[in-house]
Amino acid sequence: MSDRNIPEEVAVALTYNRHAYATMMASPLDLEDFATGFSRAEGIIAEHQEILDLEIVVLPQGIELRMTIAPDRLRDFTARRRRMAGPTGCGLCGIEAIAEAMRSPPGVTTELFVQPDQIPRMVAAMAARQTLNQVTRAVHAAGYWQPTSGLGPVREDVGRHNALDKLAGAVARERLPGPGVVVLTSRVSLEMVQKTAVLGAPVLVAVSAPTALAVSMADAANITLIAIARDDGFEVFTHPHRIVDKAAINVA
């Protein structure tokens, strides 16, 4: 019988004013951040203050994130809910219209420049902050790096989408100033780019490869997509103008 440490995975239901929206399989950590980040990524709220109340309800078979949102947001939410074929399980599943799944995120308007030697340092810094992964070796992480302060919040989850939602929630709730870089320990798919765009991060760095659709979406959203970032280098797929040497940053 194995005595390996393994991560928890529970059903997390997200409800708004007692209306069900989605049930995700997630790690039961940083759930306040998850509620905020998921709600922003789905367009249910625009600012974290629009969640007027959040109650974390532990149930026999899972957890409910019971949110109360403002009346104007509730109207929009109700209209969108009518278009849903069913609850989502992975961020895309259950969405009735293909157009909804392929929605274009807002174009990123903030600017940020990074030096080539900073990129492997971002990735290396993530390892020390992945406390759950150090024990289980079985979860994904998303981190937020800023030029003035280095690596800020890092969030982990069994699901890579959830980890990024938790990170977005943390950035919003902590009101971090200025733009930053999203750093992922996973591959980059379409929805990861969409979530990064909603967060407003102009640079996305990942240790694994992107999909073709993710590259297309990053290009359209004005995001610099850097992937396959390892100790020995990285590849830039979109908007390479943000990767500059120190002298160019000082001149800018």
CATH architecture of the domain formed by 10-101: Roll (3.10)
Instruction: Give the pLDDT confidence of 139-176 residue by residue, as tens digits.
Output: 999 999 999 999 999 999 999 999 999 999 999 999 99
Q: How confident is the model at residue 63 (pLDDT cuts 50, 70, 90)?
A: very high
Phi, psi of 18 (to 5 degrees): 70, 15
Specify the domain boundaries for CATH 3.40.140.10 within the chain.
Answer: 118-251
* Catalytic, out of 90, 97, 128, 138: 90
Q: Which of these, 124, 146, 120, 127, lies nearest to 201 by C-alpha position? A: 146
Q: Which of these, 164, 181, 183, 196, lies nearest to 229 by C-alpha position? A: 183
H helix or E strand, kind and range, residue 16: strand 10-16
Specify the domain boundaries for CATH 3.10.20.10 within the chain.
Answer: 10-101
With a cut of 50, say whether residue 52 has pLDDT above it: yes
Instruction: Give the pLDDT confidence of 192-226 residue by residue, as tens digits.
Output: 999 999 999 999 999 999 999 999 999 999 999 99
User: Model pTM greater than 0.95?
Assistant: no
- Topology (CATH) of 118-251: Cytidine Deaminase; domain 2 (3.40.140)
90 in catalytic set: yes
Instruction: Give the pLDDT confidence of 26-45 residue by residue, as tens digits.
Output: 999 999 999 999 999 999 99
